[in-house]
Amino acid sequence: MVDKLKSAPLAYENPQFINSPDGRILRILAEYQEPLARFRREQIQDTVVFFGSARFQGGDAAKKNLTAIEKNDAKIAAADQETNLKRARAAVDMARYYEDARRLAYMLTEWSIQIPARRRRFVVTTGGGPGIMEAANLGAHEAGGKSIGLNINLPFEQNPNSYITPRSTSNSIISSCVNSGSPISLKLW
């Protein structure tokens, strides 16, 4: 009597295949589809994407940092101290862009949540990290609206900022924003 051969697993249930170079196309396709399904569940029709530096700080944080550097409690050498002061002063100056993004996201969200529609319109979307992204997510959060973060995963970099609506955060390899049903932005995770 001949032993029956065991059936090969279905490709999508085969971790060896899915995690192989040949399965990459399926992983990429899934990373498009999963955020779209999440947007449908959350009834998100449109997004407005904010791009900007991850290094900018809010005005208060930048001023606090400048004050600490001016005190020079660490007794840093004069040349290094001058460099640190120059960077801290520039950060205070650039903080206006953080505050502008925060205010714009607030105004956009305040306006969009009043639109009489069954689905959420013009939802603030960012890369989900610090800086301008955090500012936009914070502004939307302060206005009482949803806020999406399409965050990236780098070995020593950022985590999602705390102003993203939790179910609207994507942890994917490639995600898309939705604008009238079309993918308009990619990101790596």
Please give the model's pTM, rounded to 2 decimal places. 0.76
* Residue 5 falls inside a structural domain: no
Number of domains in the chain: 1
* Residue 42 falls inside a structural domain: yes
* Residue 144 falls inside a structural domain: yes
* Residue 41 falls inside a structural domain: yes
Average pLDDT (31-43) is 89
Q: What is the CATH number of the domain that holds 150?
A: 3.40.50.450
Distance of CA 24 to the CA centre of its chain: 23
Q: How far apart are CA 67 and CA 168, in angstroms?
A: 36
* 124: phi then psi, degrees, rounded to nearest 5: -65, 130
Domain range enclosing 110: 29-54+101-183
* Residue 96 falls inside a structural domain: no
Ordered DSSP codes for 76-130: --HHHHHHHHHHHHHHHHHHHHHHHHHHHHHHHHHHHTTS--SSB-SEEEE-SSS
What would the pLDDT profile of 108-155 be if each residue is shown by its tens digit?
Answer: 999 999 999 999 999 999 988 899 999 999 999 999 999 999 876 666
pLDDT at position 1 is: 66
Of the pLDDT bands very low, low, confident and very high (cuts 50, 70, 90), residue 167 is: low
For 159, the token pair is 């985590």
* Residue 4 falls inside a structural domain: no
What would the pLDDT profile of 57-102 be if each residue is shown by its tens digit?
Answer: 999 999 999 999 998 877 788 888 899 999 999 999 999 999 999 9
* Residue 106 falls inside a structural domain: yes
* Residue 7 falls inside a structural domain: no
- Comparing 56-65, 138-147, 161-170, 173-182, which segment has the lowest mean pLDDT? 173-182
Q: How far apart are CA 170 and CA 127, in angstroms?
A: 10
